């Protein structure tokens, strides 16, 4: 079913993984040849905190955080990243807010929700960088597919003719997966707030819940969509890059208070993870080594073949269709995957307003400017020798043909026919 992988990375036994991790750790020597960047590791610019705990959820897109640590890139910038495996997004939120975690691989919309008090306790937050773009999907159950629902249009047709309660899962109420799911359903005339039941499920539990019939579909990050296909319980209805090509996904998030207290550490960690993302995207072998590393029990805890196809853009929908997707998950993309565009943050706010998570229009641009720490990112990009885009805003066309450029967010948020 999967495209064969080279024998060197196909093994999944513990001993071979351990051997690889030793080899990966030796990559530190390679990075040390690149040298320090002047005063970044000493003097007044030295990181205030030498060891940082970064929370992550078991998903493919935690990879740049993990690889920055495993390859020793973090030490090049004078810090030590301790990746900390977490069970759920609410757990990540709580540990960020109370200071148990320094930073986290976290949902874009979670950070914005906490900042505005729409996702639990209100606290000023910060986004230091995007960790990746693209690479999530919406999975429909095999039972739905057997009835003809294999994409948005056929799902809408089935829901209109076969009347019952349809249940769909996302991973956090203000998060990216909720917004991708809602946008996709609405683009096909399905109101997620009126025509379906929406539940929240932690990413690693999606497949198990679908297996026992708790949901008709879910939106989650990889490798759990491909895992559902491998296990014969689901099919890919759409990818999120088909909803919004080159969309932002996870971010490196923390509290505003933490950045204020440790600005040099924030810059150093951002630079290290930027460089790790660059390493991942540099070529086939690096991606396969990354898949081998994060498949380990300490990280995503799945088989390598659940990860390594879709990170190369090799997709299948579980019904015999295969394709190569140029908009697969990217961790660097010449820096375009990582820049915290203000318009991206504002878009999430427009959708929070659309779906009733906020009663009133916020100061869209003001909120984005206060959360997205472009100042820290630019310093980190300079340290990691990463180019910057010409603008802090960008424009896109979505699956429904509607364009977003960040220029009139209130008008945009109010323009949708399908809303709460």
Nearest to 294 by CA among 22, 58, 7: 58
Are 135 and 60 spatial neighbours (Cβ–Cβ below 8 Å)?
A: yes
pLDDT attached to residue 44 = 78
Report the C-alpha gap between 203 and 225 in whole angstroms. 10
Distance CA 347, CA 355 (A): 13
DSSP 116-167: HTSSSS---EEEEEE--BS-EEEEEEHHHHHTT--SHHHHHHHHHHS-S--E
pLDDT of res. 178: 98
DSSP letter at 33 equals: T
Neighbours of 21 (CB within 10 A): 15
Per residue of the chain (420 residues), what is the pLDDT tens digit?
Answer: 333 333 333 333 344 444 444 444 444 333 333 333 433 445 678 999 999 999 999 999 999 999 999 999 999 999 999 999 999 999 999 999 999 999 999 999 999 999 999 999 899 999 999 999 999 999 999 999 999 999 999 999 999 999 999 999 999 999 999 999 999 999 999 999 999 999 999 999 999 999 999 999 999 999 999 999 999 999 999 999 999 999 999 999 999 999 999 999 999 999 999 999 999 999 999 999 999 999 999 999 999 999 999 999 999 999 999 999 999 999 999 999 999 999 999 999 999 999 999 999 999 999 999 999 999 999 999 999 999 999 999 999 999 999 999 999 999 999 999 999
Taking the C-alpha atoms of residue 108 and residue 122, their distance in angstroms, rounded to an integer, is: 16
Please tell me the predicted confidence (pLDDT) of residue 43: 61
pLDDT of residue 158: 98
Residue 139 near residue 215 (C-beta atoms within 8 A): no
Rounded distance between C-alpha atoms, residue 220 and residue 179, angstroms: 11
Cα separation values, 409 from 109, 186, 264, 366, Å: 16, 19, 33, 12
Residue 236 DSSP one-character state = E
Q: Which residue intervals of 282-373 are DSSP H helices?
A: 284-294, 304-307, 342-354, 364-371
What's this model's pTM, rounded to 2 decimal places? 0.91
Residue 101's pLDDT is 98
Helices marked H in 295-404: 304-307, 342-354, 364-371, 374-383
Instruction: Give pLDDT, residue 92.
Output: 98
User: Is residue 73 within 8 Å of 279, Cβ to Cβ?
Assistant: yes
The span from the CA of 259 to the CA of 103, in Å, is 10
CA 2 to chain centroid:
23
Nearest to 130 by CA among 342, 327, 284: 342
Question: How far is the CA of 113 from the CAs of 64, 121, 410, in angstroms?
Answer: 24, 9, 18
* Helix, strand, or coil (residue 235): strand
C-alpha distances (whole Å) from 370 to each of 314, 373, 410 are 38, 7, 18
In angstroms, the CA 93 to CA 107 distance is: 10
pLDDT computed for residue 77 by the predictor? 97
Compute the distance between CA of residue 74 and CA of residue 65 in angstroms, rounded to an integer.
Answer: 9
d(CA 30, CA 73): 9
């Amino acid at each position: 079913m999967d495209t064969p992988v080279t024998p060197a990375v196909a093994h999944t036994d513990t001993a071979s993984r351990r051997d690889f991790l030793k080899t990966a750790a030796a990559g530190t020597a390679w990075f040390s040849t690149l040298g320090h960047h002047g005063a970044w590791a000493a003097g007044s610019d030295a990181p205030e905190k030498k060891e940082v705990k970064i929370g992550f959820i078991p998903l493919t897109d935690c990879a740049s955080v993990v690889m920055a640590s495993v390859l020793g890139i973090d030490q090049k910038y004078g810090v030590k990243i301790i990746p900390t495996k977490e069970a759920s997004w609410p757990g990540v939120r709580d540990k960020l807010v109370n200071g148990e975690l320094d930073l986290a691989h976290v949902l874009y919309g979670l950070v914005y929700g906490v900042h505005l008090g729409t996702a639990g306790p209100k606290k000023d937050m910060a986004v230091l960088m995007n960790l990746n773009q693209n690479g999530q999907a919406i999975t429909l159950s095999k039972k739905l597919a057997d009835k003809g629902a294999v994409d948005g249009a056929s799902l809408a047709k089935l829901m209109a003719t076969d009347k019952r309660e349809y249940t769909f899962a996302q991973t956090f109420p203000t998060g990216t997966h909720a917004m991708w799911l809602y946008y996709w359903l609405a683009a096909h005339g399905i109101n997620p707030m009126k025509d379906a039941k929406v539940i929240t499920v932690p990413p690693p539990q999606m497949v198990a819940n679908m297996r026992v019939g708790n949901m008709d579909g879910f939106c989650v990050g990889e490798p759990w969509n491909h895992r559902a296909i491998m296990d014969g319980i689901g099919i890919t209805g759409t990818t999120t890059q088909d909803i919004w090509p080159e969309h932002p996904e996870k971010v490196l998030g923390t509290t505003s208070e933490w950045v204020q207290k440790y600005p040099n550490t924030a810059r150093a960690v951002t630079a290290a993870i930027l460089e790790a993302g660059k390493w991942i995207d540099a070529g086939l072998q690096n991606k396969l080594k990354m898949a081998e590393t994060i498949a380990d029990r300490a990280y995503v805890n799945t088989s390598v073949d659940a990860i390594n196809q879709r990170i190369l853009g090799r997709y299948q929908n579980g019904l015999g269709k295969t394709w190569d997707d140029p908009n697969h998950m990217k961790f660097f993309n010449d820096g375009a995957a990582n820049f915290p565009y203000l318009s991206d943050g504002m878009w999430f706010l427009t959708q929070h307003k659309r779906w009733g998570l906020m009663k009133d229009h916020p100061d869209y641009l003001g909120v984005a400017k206060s959360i997205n720490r472009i100042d820290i990112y630019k310093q980190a990009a300079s340290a990691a020798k990463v180019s910057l885009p010409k603008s802090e805003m960008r424009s896109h066309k979505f699956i429904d043909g509607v364009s977003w450029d960040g220029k009139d967010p209130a008008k945009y948020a109010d323009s949708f026919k399908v809303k709460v």
